[in-house]
Amino acid sequence: MKALTKKILITVGTIIAVIFIIYRFFAGTYNSIVAKDEGVSSQWAQVQNQYQRRMDLIPNLVSTVKGYASHESEVLTAVTEARSRAGGMVNIDSEALNDPETFKKYQQVQDSLSSSLQRLLMVTENYPELKANENFLALQSQLEGTENRISVERMRYNEAAKDYNVYIRQFPKSIIANMNGFRTKSYFEASQEAQSAPQIQF
């Protein structure tokens, strides 16, 4: 009888230990995925902050340039229209990170705005009096700094997304990720025109 009781206790103890180990693995993995997912979302917010900062600079920049180069209406209109298109796509829901098409569209709109700003700054090279304007120089410097911050934040976002994507695709973590609806995040793709800061000459 004692031997049977001992066997039962050992069996029950083993089952409890196995259940505890499985629980710890699932709970630990799930919590790690959540933490990495939040890291990606946090970095995404930083990217959006920099895009918003750029959006806020554009009206003053366009206004200053218009005062010296009003006949460059085509370039000024292109910047204004690109800003308008990007206006609805600065702060989008982080769910867009799970949808490659939405993410690609977001990147295209932002890249288009970067291209328009680069054309605007190239045009200003033809206006020495504009290049000497203190307000313009300050805006130009802020824009250059913002473009650099955008590049840095996009790189940090890609690093966070890569860390998350690799983690949820590894077996057996991939099973837990799929069971709980975690999907890989999209990356910013390098674009020569979009990733380089405007060439600003003082």
**153 or 83, which is more confident?**
153
Say whether pLDDT at 200 is over 70. no
pLDDT for 148-178, tens place per residue?
899 899 999 999 999 999 999 999 888 889 8
pLDDT at 1 (0 to 100)? 58
The pTM assigned to this predicted structure is 0.77
pLDDT for 5-44, tens place per residue?
888 888 888 888 888 888 888 888 899 999 999 999 899 9
- What is the architecture of the domain spanning 2-186? Up-down Bundle (1.20)
Lowest mean pLDDT among 17-21, 131-135, 178-182: 131-135
pLDDT at 194 (0 to 100)? 44
pLDDT at 202 (0 to 100)? 36
C-alpha span between 137 and 127 (Å, rounded): 13
Say whether pLDDT at 92 is over 80. no
Task: Supply angle C-alpha 193, 146, 140, rounded to 5.
Answer: 85
pLDDT at 167 (0 to 100)? 93
- Per the prediction, the chain carries an average pLDDT of 83
For the chain, which residues make up each domain, given as ranges? 2-186
